[in-house]
Structure 1
Amino acid sequence: MLGKIFGWWDGATIGTLFTIAKRGAHVGTDEFGNRYYQSRDKTSYDGRQRRWVVYNGYADASKVPPDWHGWLHYIYDETPTEHPLPRRKWELDHLPNLSGTPMAWRPKGSMAATGQRPAATGDYQAWTPE
């Protein structure tokens, strides 16, 4: 219960859920389980309906796919559930930022990479002050 009251970084708090129930309308959910909402009235400073996301789990903006990002920032009027973006055959599926996780990419020779670091080739000369 305390996690729902104070845990804003891991989903919605009780206050946010109350505000959503009172003022928001659910418009869709993405493949990561993030839920997207739009205000029922025009409450924005420019007269548009406010749009927001409630993250599934840890709040990380890189978990928002590009089509939903465009909708959140008023680039697209229709939600991706109503009008999905066309996919090119060379496009990969969206991945959140994996930095700092075990699935992060580590280049060859990185101290964090597993395995043995390659030996120096001898083409390096250390700088020495004059």
Structure 2
Amino acid sequence: MGKTFARIAVAGVAVATVFAGTVSTAQAADTAILASNKVISLPDGRGKMTFIDDGDMFEVCDTKADGHGVEGTVRDNRNTLLTVNDGGDAGCDKAGYNVGNWFSVQMTLTWDGGGGTVYSEWFNE
């Protein structure tokens, strides 16, 4: 009976350790996702848009000298909240918008030369 109890105790500790490790890993991953920057990119290296979580800045970069610029927007489910354009000059353009945690926003990025729009996932802080 003593050996059976010892086996059950060891098995219980092993299960608890695995479960605790899984919970800690999942919580760490969720925290990393919420606190990280978000980036979307246009095909063929034409441009990118980055949400910089520290300071709630949105940066739009035209990364290809092709005579066309790029436009990034931040929107909620009803309105465009911010528009940032870049093209024709050196460097990237950026603007701030307080994302907060009371509703989610989505970034969009388009190339002024045509083609489709790239969308981020919906996010908040």
Instruction: State the TM-score, normalized to the length of structure 2.
Output: 0.24
**Whose strand proportion is higher, 1 or 2?**
2
**Whose helix proportion is higher, 1 or 2?**
2
Instruction: State the TM-score, normalized to the length of structure 1.
Output: 0.23
